[in-house]
Amino acid sequence: MLKTYKPHEDWKKTDEEDPKAKALNIRREAAFKVFGEGSEALVTVIPMPNTGGMQEMRGNIERWAGQVGLPPPTPEQLRDLLTGITVDDIEDCLLIDLRGPKDRSVVVVVPLADKNWIFKITGPEKLVGAQKDKFETFVKSAKFEGGR
């Protein structure tokens, strides 16, 4: 269970629901709008069931790639997209940086026993690039109850 996190002070909390997520019965733990560079990005925190399979993770990465206008990554491209990151002393977290033709998503997956916590910022390339360090600081501020 996600216990605490600290969003950047310039981010605006939003209760707006994503109709696609709602249709799939996906519940957001938190969402923030980020403004700058003359545009808007969205930061979300979503708990997803952890079935422990790389195939499930690959499917999510393919979906996220499609959201920014990229084709599904090849196995070689997939290896290049994944970077390790530590969150709340959990060392096997993944950071995925997807740069599409106009939009960009940076996603961090925090695997716990029963859930994968998905932290994601999506929006125009320039804004997401400018916010990437703040996003990573936000993700690293997350603390989880009960550990692994």
Identity of the highest mean pLDDT range in 36-40, 41-45, 77-81: 41-45
Evaluate whether 11 touches 32 at the Cβ level (below 8 Å).
yes
Number of domains making up the chain: 1
Is the pLDDT confidence value at 148 over 60?
no
CATH code where residue 119 lies: 3.40.1000
Least confident span in 58-62, 100-104, 121-125: 58-62
Q: What is the pLDDT of residue 113?
A: 80
Structure confidence by residue, pLDDT tens digits, 68-100: 999 999 989 988 889 999 999 999 899 999 999
Q: What angle do CA 53, 59, 61 make, to 5 degrees?
A: 105
Look at 100 and 16; give whichever has higher pLDDT.
Answer: 100
Range(s) of the domain holding residue 39: 2-144
